[in-house]
Each structure stands twice: as structure tokens, then as C-alpha cells.
């Protein structure tokens, strides 16, 4: 039997990465699917009358081995992939899709679930049990259990095709990212670039046997160049290359994949009786309907657009005065914004970076979690890693009980997709009276250490680390009975609350003093810099808000209508961006073909949730500000009513239990400087 098909005989039952060979995966998946199928068969073959324990709970705990294997494999496919793993993913995804359909379209199983669901008013169920029963019933009814046989067959075909298309979309984006290099041999071309960024570019060139400097589309390379490089033509080249990912008409082009994905999603929603994919998705979100989302985004747009236009015009004037630029282009935005920020606040990332050594920021996040939630983090080296860069920690409470195992993976590499995310290797649940603790991971793409400097983070990278760590805390502090309701298994427009609320501590003096010390001198970050960070927090907030709204509206334009008449991805996108556009369009660029959040990840019809959760997080943090940012009582409420509760209840009920009232958007608008404080 493969090591992947047995209980891991390792410390804390962690994944034995070093002992797994790529060729182990496919046989292990086949075996795990067979085992999970047998567990489903045992439920349907049970001669006892259906009840909550023998059907609903049994169903939630079934397929544990398969779920664990899937988490492990697909996490690696995002963080440490290669051609072989991608090929296996293409083989495995349709199998998993087919097996998922075998469950939701299993009539005998659905009959048992339906029987219990019809009796729910007379059953003495806990709130969590009621939620699980509702969720299980909906997982059948929303995925075709009530369809006729011919429609079930079509649903299976759609799901199989979608699983392949989403993978292909992601593979193309990763390949396009890895394929681009800008090789510079004239040092004058790096004018304006900070020393650390130049050194990193030189080391990257050296690692590939080249002289000079290499700039790539990985964020730690791309962002500093776009922000600081004086050479406008090179910024243009880099920006156009980034915006043209999977939009070149070559083998890695995603235009057809986008059109196929949205059409299949729409057809699937129609099959299930929904008007659009957005109607289907949003039924299980706090927002409930596409109309609510569009109203929410458009109301924010009304508030943000005047500020965004004002900011853009100011920036354009600034660029004209400074360098005679008549028309600001997309490759000018970061460059002149940074220069204007320096002028207005005497603040730039290069001033701040020495105070944000990665190790210190990690320790700061840990100390804040300890102060708020009584957690202890201890780095351990007795568990396996999938790459040498990965850091591993044991998380305990004040009594020494295990809370979680935590993996942290911070630097870019060829096998890792861009961006930052939190994920789960094993969820928390309670079985046979044992509270089985979770294994949580965060993955980022930060600037690597160079020969002369440690990894020094930009302030934006600091907030990214805190954001993902906020998600991680949601996973670590989970305390529910059933795995499908645990941790971040919540409504998608609620999941960003724990992550976004933690970002607020990055702006607070009491928190910064815990970790923002100079990497060379150990000097505490000066008070004037903290004041500048706070003062600049709303710099270009109108433009940033407009940008986020534009992504949300693009998402809804793909998923909130019948896409069958859309023939040009680019033209459709231009139309969707019409009311949020500030910069001139770039003909060679298209965002949709690399919009992994909605075409590969889980954000289809859900990108609005970042702004939705900002309303929640601003309102929640206002409570901390009122009582003190390290107030134990408020932190305990947040832990007890939000972080530990997973998806056991409607999120608005959980939020009101924490806050005592519904969230008010005014806190966000004030924080963003869009209305007076």
C-alpha cells in the first residue's frame, strides 16, 4: 500500500513530503476514490432507518483519506509544481469531478438525506447539526440530484470539462509568467532602482548563468521595477508583457478557455434552474443575489469615483510638471504615485524596508496573535517540508495543548504561482471525542535575501503577510465538530474578514513597536515614520477602491449574464471597465486571460467579497479601537464568535454576536477618507 493511502506515521501525522514520489499520486488517488466509494456504499446499504448520525455525519466524515490526499496534491500543484505534477493533475481532476458527481447524483444517498431533511423540524439538532443538514441537502439539490437522467449526464460532462479547463487556465498563466525575462546588461537601464532590487536582479541573472541583471514577472522583481525604474520604455515593455499573459494567440492563450469556462458555468446554472452562474453562486453568500452585489459595487463606485478622478488628475499634473508627461499610461502609475507619495509624506518603501526584516515581521505577527488569542509559536524541524524555503511551526495554547501545525512559504520560484494565499493540509474536526487539530499553510512571493541583505519587506508585503496570517488564524483556531464546517469553510464573502481585519494592526503604533526594528541597528521604527504610515494610509485610496470595484464588476459581467453572445474577450472586458477606467486602454493587454481568482480559484461571482469584507473589517476594527487594539475582551469575542466558529451559523448572526449590531459602511468610508471622519 502506498504511503499516501495510510495514516501518516510522522510527528503530528504531518505529510511525509520527502517520501512521496510523483508516480505515487495516481495509484493513490484511484485507491482513495475506491475507499471513499465504499464508505458511501456503506451509508446507502445501511438497513437502519436514516438518521443524522448514520447518514449526515457519516457522509461528512467519509472520504477523509481522499480529501487529505487531494489537499496535499493540489497545494503542491500551486506551490511546488512541475510538468509531471501538472500532467497528473489533468488526469486526476476529471476523476475527482466524476466521483463528486457520483455522490451528488446518487439517488439512494439523496433519498436518505431528503428523509432526514423533511423531518428536521422534529429532530433535536444542535445549531451546528442543523447547518450541516441544510448544507448536505443543498449540496445535492444545488448539484443536480433532482434533475432528469439526461440532464444529470450533461451535468457530469460539464463538470469534467470545467475541471480540465480551470487547470489549463492556471498552467498557461504560470508558464507565461515563467517564460518572460527582461535581460539588462547596461546598468544605466536600472537607474532609480533601489540597491536591494538591483542586487536581487543580478543574483537572478547569475543563477541562470548570465551577466548583468534579470527582471521577471514575479512580483518581487516586477513591482520594484514598475515603482522605481526611471526608464519609461522599459517600464512600458514590462507592463505590456505582464498584461499580455495568456493573450498572445499562442499555445498558452487563454481567450478560448475563458469563453468556454463562462459558457459552461452558465449552462450548468441553467440546468440547475438558475438564471446565471452568479445567481447560483450568490444563493450561498451573504449577498444572496447579483442585484445586491451590483448595487453594493455601484454605490461604492459613486462614492469612490470622484475621489479617484481627482487623484488621477493630480497625479497626471504632477507627472507633467516633473517630466513633461502629457498622458499618464498604466506603466506610469506606480512610478509617479511613489514619487508623489515621497513628496507629500516624505515617505517611501526604501525608508521603511530596513524596519521590516521578514523574520521580525513573522515574529511580530506571532506576538500579536499571542497577545490577542493566547497562542505560542515554536519553530520545529522534526517535520517534513516540500521545499527547503518552507518554515514549520508548532502552535500551542497557554497550557501547551497543540492548536495547529503551521507551514510558511515566502519566496518565489519557478514551480510556484504568483500571489499569496492561505491553504489547509488537514482541517480541524472532533471525532470519537478527540479534537483533531489542523495543519495550515500560508504561501507568499516576497523578496528573497541577497548576499548583502536579509529579506526586507515593502510595507505592502507586510500587510500581505498579515492578511494571509489572518486567514491562517481562522484555520488554526477552528473548533467545530464537522470538517466541512471547520475553519475557513464559511460563506465566501465572509472569509476575508479575519484576514483583512488583521491588516489593521500594521498601522498601529502599539503593534509596530513589537516588531518594526532596524535590521542593522536594532533601532525602533521612529515615531515620525509611524505617523507617516498612518497619514499615507489613505493615499490614492479612491484609485485603489476604483480598481477593486472594476475587478468585481468584471467578474459579475462574466458571470451575471448569459455569455453565449460574447465572442471577443477583450471587447467584453473593455465594456465592463468603461465606468471605472482612468488610464488609456492597452491594445496588447487583457486582464481576463490571467484573472486566476475567478477562472482558476474560487472567486467566480465572488470578487466583490474583498470590498464587502472591508465593510466588515473596518466596522470590526473600530470596536478594537474603541476598547484598545490589544483589548483581551474584544479579542476573546472575536475568537469565540468568529474565528473558532467556522461555518456553523449564518455569518451575520456570528458577526452580530461579536459586535452587538450589524456592520455599518461608514467605518470603511471614513477609514478610506471618502467621507469626513
More confident residue, 672 or 278: 278
Residue range 86-128, pLDDT digits in tens:
999 999 999 999 999 999 999 999 999 999 999 999 999 999 9
Mean pLDDT of all residues in 287-300? 94
Residue of 65, 71, 8 whose CA lies nearest to 407: 71
Mean pLDDT of 660-677: 82
Judgement on whether residues 45 and 122 belong to the same structural domain of the protein: yes
The total domain count for the chain is 3
Express each pLDDT in 187-242 by its tens digit: 999 999 999 999 999 999 999 999 999 999 999 999 999 999 999 999 999 999 99
pLDDT of residue 595: 97
Distances in Å between the Cα of 135 and the Cα atoms of 51, 96, 288, 444 are 16, 20, 15, 32
In which residue are the cell numbers 518552507 written?
Answer: 390
Looking at the structure, tell me whether residues 40 and 92 fall in a common domain.
Answer: yes
Alpha-carbon separation of residue 309 from 145, 425, 507, 598 (angstroms): 50, 44, 26, 27
In the predicted model, what is the mean pLDDT of residues 535-552? 94
Residue 675 has pLDDT above 90, yes or no: no
What phi and psi values does residue 374 have, to the nearest 5 degrees?
60, 45
For 455-492, the pLDDT digits (tens) are: 999 999 999 999 999 999 999 999 999 999 999 999 98
Q: Is residue 607 part of a domain?
A: no
Provide, rounded to the nearest whole percent, the portion of the chain with pLDDT above 70.
100
**Within a domain: residue 334?**
yes
Enter the pTM of the model: 0.90
Asked if 11 and 125 sit in the same domain, the reply is yes
Q: How confident is the model at residue 44 (pLDDT cuts 50, 70, 90)?
A: very high
Does one domain contain both 39 and 118? Answer: yes
Pairwise CA distance, residues 449 & 453, whole Å? 6
What pairing do the DSSP bridges indicate for beta strands 429-431 and 391-396? unpaired
* SS3 letters across 483-534: HHHCCCCCCCCCCHHHHHHHHHHHHCHHHHCCCCECCCCCCECCHHHHHHHH
Question: Is 191 domain-assigned?
Answer: yes
User: Do 29 and 88 lie in a common domain?
Assistant: yes
For residue 84, is pLDDT > 70?
yes
Residue 337 and residue 206 share a domain: no
The secondary structure element, H or E, covering residue 367 is: helix 358-373
For residue range 601-652, list pLDDT tens digits in order.
Answer: 889 999 999 999 999 999 999 999 999 999 999 999 999 999 999 999 999 9
Evaluate whether residue 405 is within a structural domain: no
Residues 309 and 202 in one domain: no
* Sequential DSSP letters for 221-248: HHHHHHHH---HHHHHHHHHHHHTTT-S
- Confidence bin at 669 (pLDDT 50/70/90): confident
Instruction: Give the domain-ending residue among 94, 123, 142.
Output: 142
Average pLDDT over every residue of 531-535: 90
Tell me the C-alpha distance between 438 and 480, whole Å: 11
For residue 447, pLDDT over 70 is answered with: yes
Q: What is the pLDDT of residues 326-366, one digit of tens each?
A: 999 999 999 999 999 999 999 888 899 999 999 999 999 99
Q: What is the pLDDT of residue 431?
A: 95
Based on the domain organization, do 228 and 293 belong to the same domain? no
Partnered with residue 431 across adjacent β-strands are 434
Percentage of residues of the chain with pLDDT beyond 90: 94
| Domain ranges, residue 200 | 180-243
How far apart, in whole angstroms, are the C-alpha atoms of residue 288 and residue 280? 9
Give me 633's grid cell.
475582551
pLDDT confidence tier of residue 576, bands split at 50, 70 and 90: very high
For residue 92, tell me if it sits in a domain: yes
Element containing residue 182 per DSSP (H, E): strand 182-184
Do 122 and 7 share a structural domain?
A: yes
Find the catalytic residue in 311, 468, 508, 614: 468
Extract the C-alpha cell encoding 596: 486566476
Q: Is position 581 within any domain?
A: yes
Q: What is the pLDDT of residue 492?
A: 86
CA distance 203 to 225: 15
User: What is the domain-level CATH number for residue 79?
Assistant: 1.20.1050.40
pLDDT on residue 471:
98
Last residue of a domain, one of 115, 142, 169: 142
Whether pLDDT at 268 is above 80: yes
Q: Is pLDDT above 70 for 1?
A: no
Measured at the alpha carbon of residue 347, what is the angle toward residues 346 and 352, in degrees to the nearest 5?
Answer: 145
Shared domain for 219 and 318, answered yes or no, is no
* 317 a catalytic residue: no
Do 98 and 216 fall within a single domain?
Answer: no
pLDDT band at 383 (very low <50, low <70, confident <90, very high): very high
- Cα–Cα–Cα angle for 26, 82, 17, nearest 5°? 60
420 in a domain, yes or no? no
pLDDT higher than 70, residue 677: no
Q: Is 82 left (phi over 0), alpha (psi -120 to 50) or beta?
A: beta
* One-character DSSP codes across 310-325: HHHHHHHHHHHHHH--
The reply to whether 21 and 123 lie within a common domain is yes
Cβ density class 630-642: b for 16+ within 10 Å, e for less = bbeebbebbbebb
Amino acid at each position: 500500500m502506498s504511503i499516501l493511502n495510510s495514516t501518516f506515521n510522522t510527528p503530528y501525522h504531518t505529510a511525509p513530503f520527502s517520501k512521496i514520489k510523483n508516480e505515487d499520486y495516481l495509484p493513490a488517488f484511484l485507491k482513495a476514490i475506491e475507499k471513499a466509494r465504499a464508505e458511501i456504499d456503506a451509508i446507502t446499504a445501511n438497513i437502519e432507518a436514516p438518521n443524522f448520525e448514520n447518514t449526515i455525519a457519516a457522509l461528512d466524515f467519509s472520504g477523509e483519506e481522499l480529501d487529505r490526499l487531494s489537499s496535499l496534491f493540489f497545494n503542491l500543484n500551486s506551490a511546488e509544481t512541475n510538468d509531471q505534477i501538472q500532467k497528473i493533475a489533468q488526469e486526476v481532476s476529471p476523476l475527482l469531478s466524476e466521483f463528486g458527481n457520483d455522490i451528488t447524483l446518487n439517488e439512494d444517498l439523496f433519498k436518505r438525506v431528503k428523509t432526514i431533511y423533511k423531518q428536521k423540524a422534529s429532530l433535536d439538532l444542535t445549531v451546528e447539526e442543523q447547518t450541516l443538514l441544510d448544507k448536505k441537502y443543498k449540496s445535492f439539490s444545488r448539484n443536480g440530484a433532482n434533475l432528469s437522467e439526461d440532464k444529470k449526464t450533461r451535468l457530469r460532462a460539464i463538470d469534467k470539462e470545467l475541471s480540465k479547463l480551470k487547470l489549463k487556465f492556471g498552467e498557461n498563466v504560470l508558464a507565461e509568467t515563467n517564460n518572460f525575462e527582461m535581460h539588462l546588461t547596461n546598468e544605466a537601464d536600472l537607474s532609480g532602482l533601489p540597491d536591494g532590487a538591483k542586487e536581487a536582479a543580478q543574483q537572478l541573472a547569475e543563477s541562470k548563468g548570465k551577466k548583468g541583471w534579470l527582471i521577471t514577472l514575479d512580483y518581487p522583481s516586477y513591482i520594484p521595477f514598475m515603482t522605481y525604474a526611471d526608464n519609461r520604455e522599459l517600464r512600458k515593455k514590462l507592463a505590456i508583457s505582464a498584461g499580455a499573459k495568456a493573450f498572445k494567440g499562442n499555445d498558452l492563450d487563454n481567450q478560448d478557455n475563458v469563453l468556454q469556462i463562462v459558457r459552461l458555468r452558465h449552462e450548468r446554472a441553467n440546468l440547475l434552474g438558475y438564471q446565471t452562474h452568479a445567481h447560483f453562486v450568490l444563493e450561498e453568500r451573504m449577498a444572496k443575489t447579483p442585484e445586491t452585489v451590483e448595487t453594493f459595487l455601484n454605490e461604492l463606485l459613486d462614492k469612490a469615483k470622484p475621489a479617484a478622478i481627482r487623484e488621477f488628475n493630480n497625479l497626471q499634473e504632477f507627472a507633467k510638471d516633473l517630466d513633461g508627461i502629457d498622458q499618464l499610461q498604466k506603466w506610469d502609475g506606480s512610478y509617479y504615485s511613489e514619487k508623489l507619495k515621497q513628496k507629500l509624506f516624505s515617505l517611501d518603501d526604501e525608508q521603511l524596508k530596513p524596519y521590516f526584516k521578514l523574520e521580525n515581521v513573522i515574529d511580530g505577527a506571532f506576538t500579536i496573535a499571542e497577545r490577542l488569542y493566547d497562542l505560542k509559536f515554536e519553530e520545529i524541524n522534526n517535520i517534513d517540508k516540500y521545499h527547503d524555503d518552507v518554515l514549520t511551526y508548532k502552535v500551542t495554547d497557554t497550557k501547551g495543548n497543540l492548536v495547529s501545525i503551521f507551514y510558511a512559504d515566502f519566496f518565489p520560484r519557478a514551480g510556484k504561482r504568483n500571489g499569496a494565499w492561505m491553504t489547509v493540509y488537514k482541517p480541524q474536526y472532533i471525532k470519537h471525542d478527540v479534537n483533531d487539530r489542523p495543519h495550515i499553510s500560508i504561501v507568499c512571493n516576497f523578496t528573497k535575501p541577497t548576499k548583502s541583505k536579509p529579506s526586507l519587506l515593502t510595507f505592502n508585503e507586510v500587510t500581505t503577510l498579515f492578511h494571509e496570517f489572518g486567514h491562517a488564524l481562522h484555520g488554526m483556531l477552528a473548533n467545530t465538530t464537522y470538517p466541512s464546517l471547520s475553519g475557513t469553510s464559511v460563506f465566501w464573502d465572509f472569509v476575508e474578514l479575519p484576514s483583512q481585519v488583521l491588516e489593521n494592526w500594521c498601522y498601529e503604533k502599539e503593534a509596530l513597536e513589537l516588531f518594526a526594528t532596524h535590521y542593522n541597528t536594532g533601532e525602533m521604527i521612529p515615531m515620525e515614520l509611524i505617523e507617516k504610515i498612518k497619514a499615507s494610509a489613505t493615499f490614492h485610496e479612491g484609485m485603489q477602491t476604483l480598481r477593486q470595484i472594476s475587478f468585481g464588476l468584471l467578474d459579475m459581467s462574466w458571470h451575471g449574464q448569459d455569455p453565449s453572445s460574447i465572442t471577443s474577450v477583450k471587447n467584453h472586458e473593455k465594456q465592463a471597465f468603461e465606468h471605472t477606467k482612468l488610464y488609456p486602454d492597452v491594445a496588447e493587454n487583457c486582464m481576463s486571460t490571467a484573472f486566476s481568482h475567478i477562472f482558476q480559484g474560487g472567486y467566480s461571482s465572488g470578487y466583490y467579497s474583498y470590498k464587502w469584507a472591508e465593510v466588515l473589517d473596518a466596522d470590526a476594527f473600530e470596536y478594537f479601537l474603541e476598547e484598545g487594539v490589544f483589548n483581551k475582551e474584544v479579542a476573546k469575542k472575536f475568537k469565540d464568535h468568529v474565528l473558532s466558529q467556522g461555518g456553523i451559523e449564518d455569518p451575520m448572526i456570528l458577526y452580530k454576536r461579536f459586535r452587538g449590531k450589524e456592520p455599518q459602511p461608514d467605518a470603511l468610508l471614513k477609514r478610506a477618507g471618502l467621507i469626513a471622519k
